Amino acid sequence: MHDHDHEYDEECCIEVPEASVGQEVVDFSMKVYDPTEGGFGEMSMEAIQKAGKWTILVFYPADFTFVCPTELADLATKHEELAKMGFEVFSVSTDTEFAHLAWRNSEKLLENVKFKMAADPTGQVSRYFGVYDPESGLALRGTFIINPDGVLVSKEVNFYNVGRNADELLRKCQANLHLREHPAEACPAKWTPGEKTLTPSEKIVGNVYDALKG
């Protein structure tokens, strides 16, 4: 059905290359549990793009596990700020939307989770983003940022045993938002809003120190 680099798309009967940074992602949809509304629904890239929103996909191995609720609780602390910036946030695992509901409403760490929890029980979306582990049927800890044009601009993948930091996700989102508005610039390491950026040119080759201090 698929090899290391490709996923087989049953609907159109063609091989779909794995999502790559800098490239436009294919349209896809997933069932979701929406804690804010208290019910089920569906997310689709097409609808998010039409709304002019950014997309954050946070893949994790499974509901009712150990590191996962700490990550989603951490993400929940940044959700409101990300939403105000125009980002749609989705946690994603290979569990069903029904399992998401049960987990969200039983695990106290998740009581502040308001973002939609997407279900990928076939692993199709996880395969497309390169985080599917065929041996376990679970997704690795992958975080992806997609701009309003549908272009994948950021990707981070951790193994099962290392949790992520929502502070760094927020920083990367702030940087990508700034660069969308100022495409001629580049953000240096640890850049945060208000700090100096770089404007790549032959003038700063070998002189980045002076460019940042100037």
8 Å CB contact between 76 and 168: no
Rounded CA-CA distance 190/93 in Å is 29
Please state, in angstroms and rounded to a whole number, the distance separating the CA atoms of residues 145 and 161: 22
For the stretch 115-144, pLDDT in tens is 999 999 999 999 999 999 999 999 999 999
Mean pLDDT of the chain: 93
User: Which long-range contacts does 100-106 make (Cβ < 8 Å, 24+ apart)?
Assistant: 100/32, 100/33, 100/63, 101/33, 101/40, 102/63, 103/63, 103/64, 103/69, 104/33, 104/35
Q: Of 3-7, 98-102, 170-174, where does mean pLDDT reach its minimum?
A: 3-7
Domain holding 105: CATH number? 3.40.30.10
Q: What is the pLDDT of residue 28?
A: 97
Q: Using CA atoms, how far apart are residues 12 and 33, in angstroms rounded to an integer?
A: 27
Within a domain: 144? yes
In a domain, 68, yes or no: yes
Task: Tell me whether residue 83 is in a domain.
Answer: yes
Residue 76 lies in a domain: yes
The answer to the question of residue 204 being in a domain is: no
User: What does the pLDDT look like over 58-90, one tens digit per residue?
Assistant: 999 999 999 999 999 999 999 999 999 999 999
For 93, half-sphere exposure in the C-beta direction (CA atoms, 13 angstrom radius) is 24
- Asked if pLDDT for residue 19 goes beyond 80, the answer is yes
pLDDT band per the 50, 70, 90 thresholds, residue 211: confident
Report, as an integer, the average pLDDT of 35-41.
97
12, 13, 68, 173: the active-site residue: 68
pLDDT at position 15 is 58
140 within domain boundaries:
yes
| Catalytic residue check, 68 | yes
pLDDT band at 10 (very low <50, low <70, confident <90, very high): very low
Residue 184 lies in a domain: no
Distance CA 134, CA 161 (A): 17
| Domain enclosing residue 133, as ranges | 6-164
Q: Which amino acid is at 140?
A: L
Residue 64 lies in a domain: yes
Q: Measured on CA atoms in the order 152, 155, 160, 166, is the torsion positive or negative?
A: negative
Domain count, the chain: 1
Distances (CA, A) of 93 to 13, 52, 65, 70, 149: 25, 25, 12, 15, 24
pLDDT of residue 4: 40
- Would the pLDDT of 14 be above 50? no
